[in-house]
Amino acid sequence: MKKIHSTEDFNSRVKQILITEEEIKAAVEEAGKKISTLYDGRPILLVSVLKGAFVFMADLCRAVTVPCEIGFMCAKSYYQGTVSSGVVKITMDLDQDVSGYHVVIVEDIIDTGRTLNDIVKLLKARNPISLHVVTLLDKPSRRLVDFKADISLFTIPDLFVIGYGLDYGEYFRNLPYIAEYTEEASDAE
């Protein structure tokens, strides 16, 4: 991975905006309504998969009208590249015992499906009252395991994307939109 040397260099890595900030806001509000209707007043535990889903989680928890707690897990499969390594490692587990909760996993993107498939298996084995998955982005053309989210906000083509929590080498999470990443950057220092 090339280091980012300037704001110009940072901005030059955005090839094209795929989903605008306004489109994301509208979709998150709709997902919040769906979740609130699904649970109809019953408290839930929203589980964010870090780091990529933290921005989505922050907005989604404000869009949900049922009582909710939040929890965090961290799983890695990219290790600073643009292609999944195929090895999923849980690097931080939940603090909560999920057996007394209606659990909603909040994910940033489903690509191969391996990471989320492993997380769902792990959490189901802990006997939650119910378990659903909501993902910001779905990339079904890359799926290697049979996995489908209960709520998917956007389906995208096989592109490496950044923004709204998604990164490349820890950069770009702060972009308010989803964009295609490009390696073709200026070498400006």
Would you say residue 25 lies in a domain?
yes
Would you say residue 187 lies in a domain?
no
Give the domain range for residue 161.
7-176
Largest Cα–Cα distance of the chain, in whole Å? 54
Would you say residue 66 lies in a domain?
yes
Would you say residue 1 lies in a domain?
no
Predicted model pTM:
0.88
Would you say residue 189 lies in a domain?
no
Q: Which residues pair with 181 in a beta bridge?
A: 14
Looking at the structure of the chain, the number of domains it has is 1
Would you say residue 15 lies in a domain?
yes
The 10s digit of each residue's pLDDT in 111-170 is 889 888 989 999 999 999 999 999 999 999 989 999 999 999 999 999 999 999 999 989
Catalytic residue among 111, 146, 150, 158: 111
Does residue 40 contact residue 102 with C-beta atoms inside 8 Å? no
Q: Alpha helix (H) ranges present in the chain?
A: 7-12, 21-39, 54-63, 114-124
How many CA atoms, within 13 angstroms, populate the side-chain half-sphere of residue 50? 10
Query: How far, in Å, CA of 162 to CA of 47, rounded?
Result: 21
pLDDT of residue 185: 56
Q: Which residue type is seen at 20?
A: T
Q: Verify whether residue 138 is a known catalytic residue.
A: no
Would you say residue 181 lies in a domain?
no
Would you say residue 183 lies in a domain?
no
**CATH code for position 171:** 3.40.50.2020
Query: How far, in Å, CA of 135 to CA of 138, rounded?
Result: 7
